[in-house]
Amino acid sequence: MTLARGTASIESPRLLLRRIAPADLQFFTRIHAIPDVVRYTGHGRPRSAEETQAWLQSTLTSYEELELGQLAVVRKADGELLGRCGMSDLVIDATAAPGTIPCAWFGRAQAPAGLAMIYERELGYTFDSAHWGHGYATEAAQRVFAYARDSLNLQRVVSVIDGDNVRSLRVAERSGLRREGEIDVLGRALIVHVWPN
C-alpha cells in the first residue's frame, strides 16, 4: 500500500507526496518523453502520450485494486511537481532454475498464468531531469520507505535498479539498501536491493 485509506499525503522536510491525479497527465507526458529520464524505466525508451495516459490510468486503478501506486512528488516551497515516487507490485517467477536469473513483471496482469510467483513491494521513482542532483529522489524514497515500514507495517520492501543507473545506485547506497540478486524484467537484468528494517 502506498497511502493508507483516508491519508491524502505524506511529507518530508522539503516535499509533499500525494496521490497522482488526472490533472498531472501533462507533466508526466512531458517527462516520459525525455530519453534521459526514462532510460532505466520500463522498456528504456520514451513513452508516447497514449502510453503515458495508460500508465496514469493504471496508477489510478492500482490505488483502488492493490492499494499501491506511485505518488506525485511536489516541492513544498513553491508547489512545483518534480516527479513520482511510490510502491509497485513486482511479480517474480518462483520456479526459476538455480543459477538462472528469474523473470519478473511489474504488475500481476503482465505475468503469465499458471506460474508459482513471489510477490514483492517495489519502491521506485522517476524525476524530471531538471531537478536531478538536489537529493529529491533520496528524500522522497526514504520518506516512502519510512511510511511503508512504520505506518503500513510492511516487513519487506525492495527496489530494482539497472546496474548502469549510477544515480539510483547512489540513492540505494545513501539509504542503506542491501543487494540481494538479479531479476529479468522485459529482457533487462536488474539488481534487487532490499531496504533495511
Task: Give the residue carrying C-alpha cell 518523453.
Answer: 33
- Per residue in 20-69, pLDDT tens? 999 999 999 999 999 999 999 988 899 999 999 999 999 998 888 877 88
Work out the mean pLDDT of the chain and round it to a whole number.
Answer: 94
Least confident of 58-62, 128-132, 157-161: 58-62
107 pLDDT above the threshold of 90? no
Confidence of residue 1 (pLDDT cuts 50, 70, 90): low
pTM for the model stands at 0.94
- In total, the chain counts a number of residues equal to 197
The C-alpha atoms of residue 150 and residue 141 are separated, in whole angstroms, by 14
Q: Which residues pair with 126 in a beta bridge?
A: 84
117 pLDDT above the threshold of 90? yes
- pLDDT at position 31, please? 98
- Report all structural domains of the chain as residue ranges with CATH numbers, in order of start: 9-194 (3.40.630.30)
SS (H, E, C) 93-154: ECCCCCCCCCEEEECHHHCCCCCCEEEEEEEEEEECHHHCCCCHHHHHHHHHHHHHHHCCCC
SS3 content of the chain, % helix, strand, coil (to 5): 30, 30, 40
Q: Say if CB 134 and CB 13 are below 8 A apart.
A: no
The C-alpha atoms of residue 37 and residue 5 are separated, in whole angstroms, by 31
Confidence of residue 194 (pLDDT cuts 50, 70, 90): very high
pLDDT average, residue stretch 152-170: 96
Percent of residues, the chain, with pLDDT higher than 90: 81
Contacts (Cβ under 8 Å, ≥6 apart) of 149: 157, 195, 197
The C-alpha atoms of residue 118 and residue 189 are separated, in whole angstroms, by 17
Q: Label residues 114-152 b or e (16+ Cβ within 10 Å = b).
A: eeebeebbbbbbbbbeebeeeebbbbbbbbbbebbbeeb
The C-alpha atoms of residue 100 and residue 137 are separated, in whole angstroms, by 31
- Per residue in 176-192, pLDDT tens? 999 999 999 988 999 99
149 pLDDT above the threshold of 90? yes
pLDDT average, residue stretch 92-116: 92
Phi and psi torsions of 7, nearest 5° = -100, 120
Alpha carbon of 71 to those of 36, 81, 184, 193: distances in Å?
A: 21, 11, 25, 21
Name the residue among 190, 184, 194, 193 with its Cα closest to residue 111: 184
- pLDDT at position 138, please? 98
